[in-house]
Each structure stands twice: as structure tokens, then as C-alpha cells.
């Protein structure tokens, strides 16, 4: 039985801990709050984030991170992307020297523009020990054991395979690839398109508008990811198109929900106050556009999302004609 640690007891961290436990691993989950850890240990529930879900008895939780990390062969990180560097500076030295470090996060660091695997690497973890997991990952559906799949990516295929083996069970399958850049950017960029779809849904536009934005959105995020070294095929796989479809329409998607509130006229400040968890799309949009402009990449949909977030464009003005191109590029 593999001993694994999951850092972060929000909806996704707790869900993935369940996936790992149901796959046969011995799982220790770190919670910031001692009362939540006690609830998980005593009642096998996380009522704040996964109401109605029974958690495996092979899962334990603690607010003592040194206890959670001790002897872990794999360490899964599920903390807000903007606090990852600070967290690693505080307790990164407690991660066992030979442990695989797995990012469950989908965001870019605001000040540096770095992906989460790059932030982890800057903390001193060798790239061969870093794995990223991404895909259509709506936590409540997976916690409810509805069949789903994801992908584990690493520069070391052996590391990716070890994580895929741990994160596979009767209802959840994890595939592997070595395209870390594409897998991470797929998870990051789909959030921005999901916000756009949420906005038009909040305005009241129908399926034609949403289908147009989603389809052109795939083209837009693919251009960006490939320019930064991703493989085009990754963007039409689980980490790209698969994640985009799940996040763009589901009321379980925080990014969709954030966009929908913007479409209904709420300000960014009001949206953030009403969300119980982080919508990474709102945090990442400006940084992604800075990276795009530095490489001369056109991202008209994301640009208009930023204008809506900043209150500089009426949500009803976001529409399918979000590109200056008059001809759809072949193969897109």
C-alpha cells in the first residue's frame, strides 16, 4: 500500500484523496482547520466542501503538516495557485527527498507568470519528480463516483505512470503523457473560456453563442499553448478540450459560476465575495494576456473577458464574433 499525502482539504483536494484511497493507497490529508480534520476522522465526511459524500475509512486527516508528509511516497498539492510559493517556503523542506510531487492546481503565478510545476521546481524539486494532473475534474461528480478520466504528465514517464497507477480505481482512470506544458496550460486556459461561457449564459444568450465561443476558444488557447511549447494533440485531449467542455457548462464549475454572475451584472468584487472557493480563471486572465502579448499571440475572447471583469465592457457585448479573423484557420 502506497503512502500518499494530499495537501489541501477543499473540494478538489478531498475528492482526489478519496480517489487515491479508493485506488488502494494509504492517504493522509492536510487541513488548515483542525475542526475539519476532526470531522473527516470521526464522521468520514467533509460537509463544507463535499456535502453528502462518504469518505473512505482508509483516509485520515490532520492539521499537522509534518505528520501528513512523513514517509509519503507521493505528495499531492491542492492549494490556491497564488499561495503555492509561500506554502512551499514554509513547509517544502518537510517533503521526503525521494517523493513524487504532484500538482492538482490549475493556475499561473500572478507576478512571475510561472506554471505551478515551475514554481515547484524553483523550490528545489527535480523536474523528474514533478507530475501534473489535469482533465475534466468537477469534484462533486467524481466524489459521487461518476466515471471520469484525467491525465498525469511528467518529463519522466516513469513518474507519470506511478501517479497514474495510484490515481486509478473503478470509477476514475488516469492516463499518462510527457507534455507537461500542454497539460498544465490546458487546465489553466480552459478556465478563461469557461468564464466567457458563464458570462454569455448569465446574459441569457443561447447555444449558438456558447458553441461559437467554445469552438473559437479551443483555437485560441491552442495557439497560445503551442507557442509556449505544448503539443497540439494535448489541447484536444482530456487536459484541453475535455476539461473545457466540463468547465464551460456545468453549474459545478467555479469559473462558469463566476462568469455567470458577471453576466448578470455583479462586479468582480461581488463575485469574489460570493464564491466559497477560488475561481482560478479570474486570477489568471491578466497574467495570461501579458504572456500572450509578449509573444504576439491574439486572444480576443480572453481580452474581452478581462474587459468584462474590469467593468470596462458590458457583458451583453461579449459575442461569438470575438476574433478579428475573417476566415476560420484550416485545422482549427
85-92 LR contacts (CB < 8 Å, sep 24+): 85/109, 85/119, 85/122, 85/123, 87/7, 88/119, 88/120, 88/123, 89/123, 91/65, 91/66, 92/123, 92/124, 92/125
- How far is Cα 55 from Cα 60, in angstroms, rounded to an integer? 10
What's the pLDDT score for residue 280? 75
Residues spanned by CATH 1.10.1040.10 within the chain? 182-317
**So which residues are the catalytic ones?**
190
**What is the spatial distance between Cα 166 and Cα 66, in angstroms, rounded to a whole number?**
22
Fold of 3-178: Rossmann fold (3.40.50)
Kind of pairing between the strands at 148-153 and 130-134: antiparallel
How many other β-carbons are positioned within 10 Å of the β-carbon of residue 204? 11
* 320 DSSP 8-state letter: S
Burial class (CB in 10 A: 0-12, 13-18, 19+), 156: middle
- Provide the pLDDT for residue 330: 47
Topology of the domain covering 182-317 = 1.10.1040
- What pLDDT, on a 0 to 100 scale, did the predictor assign at position 322? 54
Is the Cα dihedral 279, 285, 286, 291 positive or negative?
positive
Q: What is the pLDDT along the chain (332 residues), one digit of tens a residue?
A: 799 999 999 999 999 999 999 999 999 999 999 999 999 999 999 999 999 999 999 999 999 999 999 999 999 999 999 899 999 999 999 999 999 999 999 889 988 999 999 999 999 999 999 999 999 999 999 999 999 999 999 999 999 999 999 999 999 999 999 999 999 999 999 999 999 999 999 999 999 999 999 999 999 999 999 999 999 999 999 999 999 999 888 888 888 999 999 999 999 999 988 886 667 778 889 999 999 999 999 999 999 999 999 999 999 998 755 545 545 554 44
Q: Which pLDDT value is given to residue 281?
A: 75
Q: Got the DSSP string for 2-22?
A: -EEEEE--SHHHHHHHHHHHH
What is the Cα–Cα distance from 170 to 287, expressed in whole angstroms? Answer: 38
Residue of 52, 62, 66, 75 lying closest to 3 (CA atoms): 75
CA distance 33 to 9: 9
Rounded Cα distance, 332 and 326, in Å: 14
Alpha helix ranges (H) inside the chain: 11-22, 34-43, 65-69, 84-91, 116-122, 139-143, 157-166, 180-203, 207-227, 243-249, 254-263, 268-274, 280-294, 300-309
Amino acid at each position: 500500500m502506497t503512502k500518499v499525502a494530499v495537501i489541501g482539504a477543499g473540494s478538489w483536494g478531498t475528492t482526489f484523496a478519496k480517489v487515491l484511497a479508493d485506488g488502494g493507497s494509504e492517504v493522509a490529508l492536510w487541513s488548515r482547520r483542525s475542526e475539519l480534520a476532526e470531522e473527516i476522522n470521526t464522521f468520514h465526511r467533509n460537509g463544507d466542501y463535499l456535502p453528502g459524500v462518504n469518505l473512505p475509512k482508509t483516509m485520515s486527516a490532520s492539521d499537522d503538516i509534518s505528520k501528513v508528509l512523513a514517509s509519503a511516497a507521493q505528495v499531492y498539492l491542492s492549494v490556491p495557485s497564488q499561495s503555492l510559493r509561500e506554502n512551499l517556503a514554509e513547509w517544502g523542506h518537510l517533503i521526503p527527498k525521494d517523493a513524487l510531487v504532484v500538482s492538482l492546481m490549475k493556475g499561473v503565478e500572478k507576478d512571475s507568470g510561472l506554471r505551478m510545476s515551475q514554481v515547484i521546481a524553483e523550490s528545489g524539486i527535480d523536474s523528474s519528480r514533478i507530475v501534473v494532473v489535469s482533465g475534466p475534474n468537477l469534484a462533486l461528480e467524481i466524489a459521487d463516483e461518476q466515471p471520469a478520466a484525467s491525465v498525469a504528465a511528467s518529463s519522466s514517464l516513469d513518474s507519470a505512470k506511478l501517479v497514474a497507477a495510484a490515481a486509478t480505481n473503478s470509477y476514475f482512470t488516469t492516463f499518462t503523457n510527457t507534455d507537461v506544458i500542454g497539460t498544465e496550460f490546458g487546465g489553466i486556459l480552459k478556465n478563461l473560456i469557461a468564464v466567457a461561457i458563464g458570462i454569455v449564459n448569465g446574459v441569457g444568450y443561447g447555444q449558438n453563442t456558447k458553441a461559437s465561443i467554445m469552438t473559437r476558444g479551443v483555437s485560441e488557447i491552442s495557439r497560445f499553448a503551442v507557442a509556449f511549447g505544448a503539443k497540439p494533440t494535448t489541447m484536444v485531449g482530456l487536459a484541453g478540450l475535455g476539461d473545457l467542455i466540463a468547465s464551460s457548462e456545468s453549474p459545478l464549475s467555479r469559473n462558469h459560476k463566476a462568469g455567470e454572475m458577471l453576466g448578470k451584472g455583479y462586479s468582480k468584487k461581488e463575485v469574489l465575495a460570493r464564491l466559497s472557493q477560488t475561481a482560478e480563471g479570474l486570477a489568471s486572465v491578466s497574467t495570461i494576456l501579458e504572456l500572450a502579448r509578449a509573444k504576439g499571440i491574439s486572444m480576443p475572447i480572453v481580452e474581452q473577458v478581462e474587459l468584462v471583469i474590469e467593468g470596462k465592457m458590458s457583458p451583453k457585448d461579449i459575442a461569438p464574433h470575438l476574433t478579428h479573423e475573417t476566415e476560420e484557420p484550416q485545422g482549427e
